[in-house]
Structure formats: C-alpha cells, structure tokens
Amino acid sequence: MIFTETKLAGAFVIDLDPIEDSRGFFARSWSEEEFVKHGLTTRNKQANVSFNRIKGTLRGMHRQAEPFAEVKLVRCTRGAIVDVIIDLRPDSPTYMQWTSVELTGENHRMLYVPENFAHGFQTLEDNTEVTYQVSEVYTPSAERGIRFDDPAFGIEWPLAVEVISDKDRTWADFKGEEVAV
C-alpha cells in the first residue's frame, strides 16, 4: 500500500500497490502493520456499504462526537465519488479546512478519515457503491452534521445535487460545533 498524506494532517489517500500478471492483479487493502507504521488507528468495529442509484447523490457531512468519534477507511467499489472531508479538530493547524479525493471502482483508491473530521461524498455515476471500515459502532446520540453547502466551508461539489436526505439538507449553520440530531 502507498500512503500519501493529504493537505489535512492525519488524513491519508491510500493506493494499492498491485502485483500484476495475466490474470489481473493482487494487492493488500489492509495491513495492521503498515497502518501502525504510519501512526494510524487499526481498530475496526463495523463495516458499512452505501449503494447510490443516481449520479449526483450527496451523503454528508457526518461525524460522531466524543466519546464515539470514529476513524473511517472509505473505498468506492463500483462507480465513482468525490469524497470530501473537513478537519474539525480545534487545535489543528488545518481546522475548518476541507479537501476532496476522487475514489472510483477503477482506481481502487481509499481515503483514511481521522477522528473528528466531517465526511461526505457525491456520486459521479449512477449505481455507485461505497464501503467503509469504521472504528466505532454507529451511535445515533453522537451523530453530528454539517450542511453540504454551509458557507463556513465553501465546499465545491462537482455536480448539482440530485438526491439528498432531508436531514443532510437541513443541518444548521456551523458555529464552531455541529448540531446534534
């Protein structure tokens, strides 16, 4: 695996390092040893799949508050997404900054999302599937969110939003902390 830190400290793009032959390729998508070597969390408590029928579907921006803050390892297994993260660690030099990464079924790329980052994505193709490994179980009382178009962040989404949940569309403006569900 090839680890490349994003402009947001502690968040990594992880590319496979495939061994190819006439059959295709073989590559590791997880190695506790390599994650530890990079100082990353290796605890996995839950795995999730998100299937999205329509291009332009937007999910996010979500996180869980302490003590249920979660690390996510996100990969698009079919189709394509723009995956967006926001650093919400008040003591971080990149506090309130965001970045995006294109994840596709073709590029096999993953995004490591640290604790206390908001996370969301927009689908670039119909019938897109995304998988997550997360370090904590979903805890509804700890769920927090940021509206996808909150002016405090100015996220540049590549497409018009075609599908979004009512909850994601109506999160309150960010004022230093997200509103609980």
Q: Which phi-psi region, left, alpha or beta, contains residue 116 (left: φ > 0; alpha: ψ -120 to 50)?
A: left
Comparing CA positions, the residue from 53, 44, 89 lying closest to residue 71 is 44
Determine contact, residues 152/111, Cβ cutoff 8 Å.
no
The alpha carbon dihedral of 125, 75, 101, 154 has a sign of positive
- Interatomic CA distance for residues 120 and 109, integer angstroms: 16
Name the catalytic one among 108, 112, 119, 132. 132
The pLDDT-based confidence of 175 (bands split at 50, 70, 90) is confident
61 in Cβ contact with 120 (< 8 Å): yes
Q: Is 138 a catalytic residue?
A: no
The whole-angstrom separation of Cα 44 and Cα 135 is 4
In this structure, are residues 51 and 42 in contact, taking their beta carbons and an 8 Å threshold? no
In the chain, % of residues over pLDDT 90: 95
- Short-list 97, 85, 88, 87, CA closest to 61: 85
pLDDT class of 81 with cuts at 50, 70, 90: very high
Pick 43-174's CATH classification: 2.60.120.10, 3.90.25.10, 3.30.565.10, 2.160.10.10.
2.60.120.10
Q: What are phi and psi of 95, to 5 degrees?
A: -55, 130
Task: Let me know if 38 is a catalytic residue.
Answer: no
Q: Under a CB-based contact definition with an 8 Å cutoff, are residues 61 and 118 in contact?
A: yes
User: Which residues, 6 or more positions from 92, have their beta carbon under 8 angstroms from its beta carbon?
Assistant: 8, 9
Alpha helices in the chain (DSSP H): 32-37, 166-169
Return the amino acid letter for 20.
E
Q: Does pTM surpass 0.85?
A: yes
Per-residue model confidence as pLDDT tens digits over 134-149: 999 999 999 999 999 9
| Pairing state between β 143-145 and 24-26 | unpaired
**Lowest mean pLDDT segment, chosen from 12-26, 31-45, 46-60, 163-177:** 163-177
Residues 178, 148 contacting (CB under 8 angstroms):
no
Cis peptide, bond prior to residue 67, ω within 30 of zero: yes
Q: Active-site residue among 38, 62, 95, 112?
A: 62
